[in-house]
C-alpha cells in the first residue's frame, strides 16, 4: 500500500502546477550606509536629492509647514515586496523616520528603468507603491507626473514608508491557458530520459466515492502508470479538486477530499498566491467504499507570467504563463511527502512543458485541444 501511494503522489506531483522562481516584482538590495541624510525644519521644510547611482533622479521635497517639528530625514536602500499584480521597475527607497506624516503632502520623485517596462503595460498607468515595514500593508500612489524618457515618476507623499515605482499588470486569464476540454491530449517527451508522458482530460470517475456530477479527470500516463486528479470547473472558471487516483497496473487507489478545494483560479493577478488545505480518505482499490487510510494535505499555488519565451519540439511560445503548486501531505499510515513541479501554459493550448521535482523536464511533442491538432507559432 505504501509503494502504491508513493507512486501515486510522485505522479500527482507532475500534475501539480508549480514553479522554481517567483513572479510579480523584484527585490531591492540593502547597503550598510545611508544614501542621503538631510535636516528638515517645521518652518521651511527641506529637500533630499540623489544625483548618482541607481537612485539618480530621486528627489523628496517637503513643503514649509508640512512637519510638526524639526526632523532629520534619511534615505536608505529598501526592498520591494513581491506584490501580486505589479512588476517593480526601479529601486526601492526606505525613508526614515518610518511613518513620518506630512501635511500638506511632500512631493516624491522616484526613478525607474524604462527598458524594464512590460510591453503589455501603458506607461500612463505607472504608480508608486508604499509599503509599511511593520504591517506589510501596500498603498498605491497615483502619479502627478510620469517622465517615461528619463525614467522618473512624481507623486504626492503623505507619509514615510518604503517606496518604489511599479507597473500594474493585467490579470491572467487562466481558463484561456488551461482549456480542459474533454478529449484534450498532450504528448510530452522527457528531455533527459526520453520517456513519453501523455496528459489527458477525460470524463469524470465512475465511483461510489465521487457521486458529484460534472466532474473531469485530469490524468497522466508514464511507463504504464496512470494517475491524476478528479476536478470540476465552475461557471466562473475556477477549477477545484475533489480527489485523485493512481493505478500502476497491479494495484490502484483513489483519495477523496473532504473539502472541494481550489486547484486553479479562472482569473488571477500576476504573482497571486493561493493556499488550500483539506483532509482526505484513501480507498483501495479504486471504487471501494471502505476507508483504508486518512490524511491531510496543504497546497500553495501561484500564477505568473514567464520571463521569456519557451521552445519545445512542437514549436515556440512567446508569452507562456507559469502555474505554481507546492503540495505537502501526510496520512495515518505515516506516509508523508512533498509534490513540486513546474508547468508552463500557452494561451489557447494548455501545458507545453513541465518539470518534475527539479529532476526531469517534459516538453510538448504533439497533441489535440478542442478537437484540433495543437499548432504553436514557428512550428519546427
Query: What CATH number does the domain containing 141 carry?
Result: 2.60.220.30
111-121: burial string, b at 16+ Cβ within 10 Å, e else: bbeeeebeeeb
Dump pLDDT digits (tens) for 242-274: 999 999 999 999 999 998 899 999 999 999 999
pLDDT at 23 over 80: no
Q: What is the pLDDT of residue 377?
A: 73
In a shared domain, residues 111 and 244: no
All three cell numbers of 336: 508523508
Q: Is residue 31 part of a domain?
A: no
What percent of the chain is modeled with pLDDT above 90? 79
Average pLDDT over residues 49-65: 96
- Please write the tens of the pLDDT for every residue from 325-342: 888 999 999 999 998 878
Separation CA 231–CA 260 (nearest Å): 9
- Long-range pairs, 275-278, Cβ under 8 A, ≥24: 275/299, 275/300, 275/301, 276/301
Smallest Cα–Cα separation from 17: which of 361, 344, 369? 344
Same domain, yes or no: 272 and 220: yes
According to the model, what pLDDT value does residue 187 have? 98
Judgement on whether residues 224 and 363 belong to the same structural domain of the protein: yes
Could you tell me if 84 and 226 lie in one domain?
Answer: no
Cβ contact 85:25 at 8 Å: no
Burial letters for 252-262: b for 16+ Cβ neighbours within 10 Å, e otherwise?
bbbbbbeebbe
pTM to 2 decimals?
A: 0.80
Tell me: do 181 and 251 sit in the same domain: yes
Structural domain contains residue 378: no
Are both 263 and 246 inside the same structural domain? yes
Of the residues 148, 168, 188, which one is the last residue of a structural domain?
Answer: 168
Judge if 191 and 323 occupy the same domain. yes
Considering the chain, what percentage of its residues have pLDDT values greater than 70? 91
Residue where a domain stops, chosen among 142, 168, 194: 168
- Which of 30-44, 102-116, 340-354 comes out lowest in average pLDDT? 30-44
d(CA 77, CA 81) in angstroms, rounded, equals 13
pLDDT for 4 beyond 80: no
Residue 28 in domain: no
Mean pLDDT of 63-68: 97
Our count of domains for the chain comes to 2
Calpha distance 184→370 (Å, rounded):
6
6-10, 86-90, 275-279: least confidently modelled range: 6-10
* Rounded Cα distance, 22 and 129, in Å: 19
Q: Identify whether residues 164 and 179 lie together within a single domain.
A: no
Domain identity same for 180 and 164 = no
Closest CA to 375 of 334, 347, 354, 342: 347
pLDDT score of 369 more than 90? yes
Q: Residue 79: give the domain boundaries.
A: 36-168
Sorted by sequence, the CB contacts under 8 Å of residue 50 that are 6+ apart come out as 35, 36, 56, 57, 58, 59, 75
Residue 241 pLDDT exceeds 80: yes
**Least confident segment among 27-41, 49-63, 97-111, 262-276:** 27-41
**pLDDT at residue 82, as a whole number:** 79
- Residue 169 is given by DSSP the state P
Say yes or no to pLDDT of 27 above 70.
Answer: no
Greater confidence, 324 or 100?
Answer: 100
Q: What mean pLDDT is reported for the chain?
A: 89
Whether residues 277 and 366 fall in one domain: yes
Q: Is residue 258 part of a domain?
A: yes
Asked which of 119, 145, 168 is the last residue of a domain, the reply is: 168
Residue 335 lies in a domain: yes
- Asked whether residue 30 is assigned to any structural domain, the reply reads no
pLDDT at 332: 97
Q: pLDDT digit string (tens) for 87-136?
A: 999 999 999 999 999 999 999 999 999 999 998 999 999 999 999 988 98
**CB 59 within 8 Å of CB 48:** yes
Q: Are residues 84 and 133 both part of a single domain? A: yes
Mean pLDDT of 181-194: 96
What is the distance between the alpha carbons of residues 8 and 283, in angstroms, rounded to a whole number?
A: 13
Nearest to 180 by CA among 198, 199, 196: 199
Please tell me the distance from the alpha carbon of residue 213 to that of residue 35, in angstroms, as a whole number.
62
3-state secondary structure of 114: helix
- Write the pLDDT tens digit of every residue in 144-179: 999 999 999 999 999 999 999 999 999 999 999 999
Cell match 522554481: residue? 20
Asked if pLDDT for residue 9 goes beyond 80, the answer is: no
What pLDDT shows up at residue 378?
Answer: 52
> Is residue 236 in some structural domain?
yes
| Co-location of 131 and 183 in the same domain | no
Question: What is residue 144's predicted lDDT score, i.e. its pLDDT?
Answer: 97
In a domain, 180, yes or no: yes
Higher model confidence: residue 221 or residue 27?
221
Amino acid at each position: 500500500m505504501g509503494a502504491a501511494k508513493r507512486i501515486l503522489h510522485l505522479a500527482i506531483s507532475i500534475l501539480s502546477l508549480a514553479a522554481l522562481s517567483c513572479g510579480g516584482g523584484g527585490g531591492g538590495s540593502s547597503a550598510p550606509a545611508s544614501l542621503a541624510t538631510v535636516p528638515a525644519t517645521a518652518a521651511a521644510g527641506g529637500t533630499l536629492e540623489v544625483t548618482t547611482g541607481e537612485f539618480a533622479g530621486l528627489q523628496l521635497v517637503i513643503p514649509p509647514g508640512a512637519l510638526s517639528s524639526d526632523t532629520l530625514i534619511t534615505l536608505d536602500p529598501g526592498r520591494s515586496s513581491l506584490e501580486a499584480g505589479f512588476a517593480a521597475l526601479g529601486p526601492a527607497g526606505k525613508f526614515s523616520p518610518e511613518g513620518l506624516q506630512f501635511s500638506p503632502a511632500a512631493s516624491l520623485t522616484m526613478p525607474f528603468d524604462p527598458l524594464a517596462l512590460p510591453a503589455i503595460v501603458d506607461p500612463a498607468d505607472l504608480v508608486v507603491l508604499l509599503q509599511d515595514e511593520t504591517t506589510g500593508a501596500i498603498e498605491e500612489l497615483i502619479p502627478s507626473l510620469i517622465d517615461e524618457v528619463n525614467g522618473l515618476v512624481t507623486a504626492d507623499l503623505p507619509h514615510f514608508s518604503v517606496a518604489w515605482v511599479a507597473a500594474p499588470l493585467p490579470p491572467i486569464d487562466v481558463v484561456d491557458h488551461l482549456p480542459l476540454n474533454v478529449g484534450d491530449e498532450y504528448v510530452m517527451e522527457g528531455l533527459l530520459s526520453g520517456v513519453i508522458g501523455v496528459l489527458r482530460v477525460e470524463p469524470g470517475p465512475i465511483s461510489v466515492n465521487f457521486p458529484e456530477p460534472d466532474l473531469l479527470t485530469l490524468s497522466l500516463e508514464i511507463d504504464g502508470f496512470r494517475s491524476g486528479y478528479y476536478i470540476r470547473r465552475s461557471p466562473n472558471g475556477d477549477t477545484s479538486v475533489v480527489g485523485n487516483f493512481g493505478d500502476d497496473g497491479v494495484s490502484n487507489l483513489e483519495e477523496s477530499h473532504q473539502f472541494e478545494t481550489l486547484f486553479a483560479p479562472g482569473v488571477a493577478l500576476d504573482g497571486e498566491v493561493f493556499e488550500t488545505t483539506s483532509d482526505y480518505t484513501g480507498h483501495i482499490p479504486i471504487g471501494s467504499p471502505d476507508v483504508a487510510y486518512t490524511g491531510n494535505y496543504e497546497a500553495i499555488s501561484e500564477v505568473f507570467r514567464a520571463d521569456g519565451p519557451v521552445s519545445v519540439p512542437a514549436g515556440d511560445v512567446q508569452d507562456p504563463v507559469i502555474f505554481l503548486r507546492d503540495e505537502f501531505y501526510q496520512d495515518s499510515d505515516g506516509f508523508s511527502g512533498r509534490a513540486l513541479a513546474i508547468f508552463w501554459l500557452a494561451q489557447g493550448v494548455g501545458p507545453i512543458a513541465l518539470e518534475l521535482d527539479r529532476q526531469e523536464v517534459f516538453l510538448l511533442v504533439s497533441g489535440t485541444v478542442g478537437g484540433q491538432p495543437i499548432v504553436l507559432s514557428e512550428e519546427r
